[in-house]
Amino acid sequence: MLPLELRGETDRVRERAVDMLERVGLGQRLSHYPRTLSGGEQQRVALARAFVARPDILFADEPTGSLDTATGEAVIALMFELNRDAGSTLVLVTHDRSVAARCGRILTIEAGRVASDEFMDAGV
């Protein structure tokens, strides 16, 4: 609820937050504290928190860096789904080329400079 409250929104804040947690598969974990959630669950909470306010631009820095491969893929798939539904611009930083390949544009940075700029036919 915090992102909505910080924006000064008052209309159905709790309902919208619960809906988003259900959307990321955590509706049954509403009363759990962060320390009792797995890394993947914590990352899904982060996605819910990021997308509940339907941002115009969302920045994600290595969103799967601390997750195992299977959990990371599930989180990435969910992130792209939520992003597509929200219509947000997603700026994603990753070292994972398979994740980058799902994006519409890839900027490769080497030694602090843009080394390449590719536009992709992203089928996300």
Identify the pLDDT of residue 122: 55
Identify the pLDDT of residue 66: 85
d(CA 34, CA 119) in angstroms, rounded, equals: 38
Q: Which two tokens stand for residue 38?
A: 């797995």
Identify the pLDDT of residue 73: 92
Residue (of 81, 77, 103, 78) closest to 92 by Cα position: 103
Task: Quote the radius of gyration of the chain (alpha carbons, Å).
Answer: 16
Identify the pLDDT of residue 123: 53
Identify the pLDDT of residue 19: 95
Give me the tens of pLDDT residue by residue for the chain, a chain 124 residues long.
Answer: 999 999 999 999 999 999 999 999 999 999 999 899 999 999 999 999 999 999 999 999 999 888 899 999 999 999 999 999 999 999 999 999 899 999 999 999 999 999 999 998 755 4
Identify the pLDDT of residue 43: 92
Query: If one looks up domain 2-119 in CATH, what number appears?
Result: 3.40.50.300
CA 117-118-119 angle, 5° bins? 130
Q: Note whether 89 and 59 are within 8 A (CB).
A: no
